[in-house]
Amino acid sequence: MRSFLWFIVVTSVVITIGCLDAIDLDVPQEEQGTIVIQGKLIKKNDEAQVDVRINNLFDFTPQSRLPVLVRTVELFETNGGVKMLERTDLNTYSITIDLDDPDFPIEYGNEYWIRVVTLRDQIFISQPNKLLKVPAAKELRFEYQAENPNQEEDRVKFFLSGNIDTNVDERKSRLRFSIKQAYRVTDCESKLCYVENLSDLNNIRTLDGNLTSDASFEDFEIHDVAITSLFAEGHYLSVFTESLSDEALRYWEEAATLVLRTGNMFEEPVGTQFSNITPEDTSTMDNVFGFFYATEIDTIRVYADSSLVGSPRPACPPLKPKEPNCLPCCDCLGLTNSSLTKPDFWIN
């Protein structure tokens, strides 16, 4: 049953950075009442952002993903610094920390962890997780592949190259990649919208630099997608690279294994999945699951002009009426994550 719970935990990771459709599943009786704690610290250029999401797991439906009544959520660091997170949403606790804060240093090599106290006086704590420097990506490129006898549709593949060594310690980087697509669409009222969508659970990519003797990686396939109208008016692919500790790498590798499972009877059983959050008093019977880690993120983007990917037809006007669902042509603002404001990075 832990495999089901692991799916819930992985889902909560993605919820912290993008929206998911509600999933209506039954939670096994023995897992009902489990507390799921999920969060991370992200080091940025001039600040660190920390977000922790806490749920009580019953039936995983919109009506039963219940927040936990929490007394405190604290963040700790190696040198004894402590920060109290504030509630920013129904089940989310957050804080922004300046990098020059003398009472709470955000530094490579430091370890960070959280402690959660509920109103029922349950206490949960995560294992310390080390913040590691992320190496900058060198190149993100794409290849257009036209329809052929071995391929039923036009496709485009994206490839990433970058460093593995960071010159911070002797160990090579462990990396996780996530992607975001941004595209432009003009509706039948001549409104120009920009739409940004994060990748879904099926696109988890990790790379363990310790498995190679090279100091860099070349042409790592990061995304493979069919050419549609999303490429007709311009398309950006952004790749976000996270630095991971050994524990965080294991967490994401197990997540990738789970979401790619087909249900084939010959697959290895999932078993108990990895979590770094436990009751502070290990003698209690409190059920808790989840993961907290510290990371840094590097971002790289590439623009795919429509003329370089087969000049696909724009979505609007539609070839056939699509009533009652007329999106995006009746109103492109009706698309999820759509805006009239051009993203800062959009220069084409």
Which CATH number is 71's domain given?
A: 2.60.40.10
- Give 282 or 331, the one with higher predicted confidence: 331
In a domain, 344, yes or no: no
Q: Looking at the structure, tell me whether residues 87 and 101 fall in a common domain.
A: yes
pLDDT for the residue numbered 42: 98
pTM: 0.84
Q: Looking at the structure, tell me whether residues 111 and 151 fall in a common domain.
A: no
Distance CA 317, CA 194 (A): 17
User: Which residues have CB under 8 Å from 321's CB, separation 6+?
Assistant: none
Q: Looking at the structure, tell me whether residues 54 and 145 fall in a common domain.
A: no
Nearest CA to 246 among 168, 325, 129? 129
Out of 84-93, 131-140, 223-232, 257-266, least confident range: 257-266
Q: Looking at the structure, tell me whether residues 191 and 249 fall in a common domain.
A: no
Nearest CA to 291 among 125, 147, 134? 125
DSSP-derived secondary structure letter, 51: E
Q: Looking at the structure, tell me whether residues 182 and 305 fall in a common domain.
A: yes
Q: Looking at the structure, tell me whether residues 59 and 120 fall in a common domain.
A: yes
- pLDDT band of residue 53 (cuts 50, 70, 90) is very high
Distance CA 292, CA 39 (A): 5
Q: Show the domain range for 26.
A: 2-132+243-296
In a domain, 346, yes or no: no
In a domain, 345, yes or no: no
Nearest CA to 249 among 257, 260, 240? 257
Average pLDDT score, the chain? 84
| Pairing between β-strand 288-304 and β-strand 235-244 as defined by DSSP bridges | antiparallel
3-state secondary structure of 185: strand
In a domain, 181, yes or no: yes
Given a contact cutoff of 8 angstroms between Cβ atoms, the answer to whether 52 and 73 are in contact is: yes
pLDDT for the residue numbered 150: 77
In a domain, 64, yes or no: yes
In a domain, 347, yes or no: no
Q: Looking at the structure, tell me whether residues 214 and 318 fall in a common domain.
A: yes
Given a contact cutoff of 8 angstroms between Cβ atoms, the answer to whether 238 and 300 are in contact is: yes
Tell me the CA distances in angstroms from 203 to 41, 137, 145, 324, one per residue in order: 22, 19, 20, 31
3-state secondary structure of 343: coil
Residues 4-39: pLDDT tens digits? 444 445 554 444 443 333 333 344 545 556 888 999
Nearest CA to 296 among 198, 201, 175? 175
Q: Looking at the structure, tell me whether residues 70 and 172 fall in a common domain.
A: no
Alpha-helix runs per DSSP H in 197-288: 246-259
Look at the chain and report how many structural domains it folds into: 2
Distance CA 289, CA 279 (A): 10
Q: Looking at the structure, tell me whether residues 203 and 311 fall in a common domain.
A: yes
pLDDT for the residue numbered 270: 45
Nearest CA to 131 among 298, 297, 294? 294
Q: Looking at the structure, tell me whether residues 101 and 56 fall in a common domain.
A: yes
Whether the predicted pLDDT of 187 surpasses 70: yes
Q: Looking at the structure, tell me whether residues 48 and 91 fall in a common domain.
A: yes
3-state secondary structure of 69: coil
Residues 94-129: pLDDT tens digits? 999 999 999 999 999 999 999 999 999 999 999 999
Angle formed at CA 248 by CA 133 and CA 254, multiple of 5 degrees: 140
pLDDT for the residue numbered 167: 66
In a domain, 222, yes or no: yes
Q: Looking at the structure, tell me whether residues 230 and 321 fall in a common domain.
A: yes
In a domain, 80, yes or no: yes
